[in-house]
């Protein structure tokens, strides 16, 4: 068994919005990265084996028609998000730093300087959280293959595939707000 790091040295795994409502393809449209959930599960297991801090973030949509509304069964976490996190943040906006309890305050109180981000969706809540984490001074690893997103239309009506949006997120974040990595890279450290 590996030697466990103190909480000051160990990065926090931030698992964002891995909720059942994102399985509603009729609502969201075509997605990318069918391996996302397997990779999220591998990251959670890796953190648990080392007793490193985990944060689960759950989106509470204000729209009663959304599959992520608290009254909808899709609000629940997917089965891969197992166990009890060190912190559960509930939010109704894109950034995990604007939820309750306060993620930034918790990270500061725990002496955590590095976060590893995974979840759904790549270009919304995951990217927004990574940008804010970078701006707040955290070292950020963005695990691109442990995220997924959906195709979206541009204002002029052109449809961008989920894979294109994921690539744009990686380009936006890498070297500026975060280091974009893959699950295998994180597990090999």
pLDDT value for 7:
45
Alpha-carbon distance of 81 to 42, in angstroms, equals 10
* Structural domain total, the chain: 1
For the four alpha carbons of 61, 63, 136 and 187, in that order, the dihedral sign comes to positive
pLDDT, tens only, 146-187:
999 999 999 999 999 999 999 999 999 999 999 999 999 999
Q: Residue 146: give the domain boundaries.
A: 12-188
Mean pLDDT of 10-24: 98
pLDDT at 189: 87
- Kindly state whether residue 1 falls inside one of the protein's structural domains: no
Q: Give the chain's mean pLDDT.
A: 95
Per DSSP (E only), the strands in the chain are 12-16, 54-59, 87-91, 99-100, 114-120, 139-148, 152-153, 159-160, 179-181
> Does any domain span residue 7?
no
Query: What's the pLDDT tens digit per position in 73-98?
Result: 999 999 999 999 999 999 999 999 99
CATH code assigned at 148: 3.40.50.850
Position 4 in a domain: no
Exposure string over 153-182, b if 16+ CB within 10 A, otherwise e: eeeeeeeeebbebbbebbebbeeebbbbbe
Residues 143, 116: Cα–Cα separation, whole Å: 7
- Say how many C-beta atoms besides its own lie within 10 A of residue 107's C-beta: 22
- Are the beta carbons of 37 and 68 closer than 8 angstroms? no
Asked whether residue 162 is domain-assigned, the answer is yes
Please, what is the angle between helix 127-135 and helix 162-173, to 10°? 0
Q: Is 3 within a domain?
A: no
Average pLDDT over residues 9-35: 97
- Which pTM value belongs to this model? 0.95
In a domain, 155, yes or no: yes
């Amino acid at each position: 068994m590996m030697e466990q790091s103190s909480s000051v040295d160990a990065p926090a795994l931030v698992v964002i919005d891995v909720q059942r409502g994102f399985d509603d393809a009729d609502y969201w449209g075509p997605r990318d990265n069918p391996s996302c959930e397997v990779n999220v599960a591998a990251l959670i297991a890796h953190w648990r084996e080392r007793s490193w801090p985990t944060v689960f973030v759950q989106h509470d949509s204000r729209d009663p028609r959304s599959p992520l509304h608290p009254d909808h069964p899709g609000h629940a976490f997917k089965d891969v998000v197992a166990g009890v996190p060190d912190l559960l943040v509930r939010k109704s906006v894109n950034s995990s730093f604007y939820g309750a309890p306060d993620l930034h305050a918790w990270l500061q109180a725990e002496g955590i300087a590095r976060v590893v981000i995974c979840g759904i969706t790549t270009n919304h809540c995951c990217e927004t959280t990574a940008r804010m984490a970078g701006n707040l001074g955290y070292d950020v690893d963005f695990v691109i293959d442990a995220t997924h997103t959906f195709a979206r239309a541009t204002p002029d009506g052109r449809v961008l595939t989920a894979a294109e949006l994921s690539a744009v997120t990686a380009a936006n974040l890498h070297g500026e707000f975060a280091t974009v990595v893959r699950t295998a890279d994180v597990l090999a450290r």
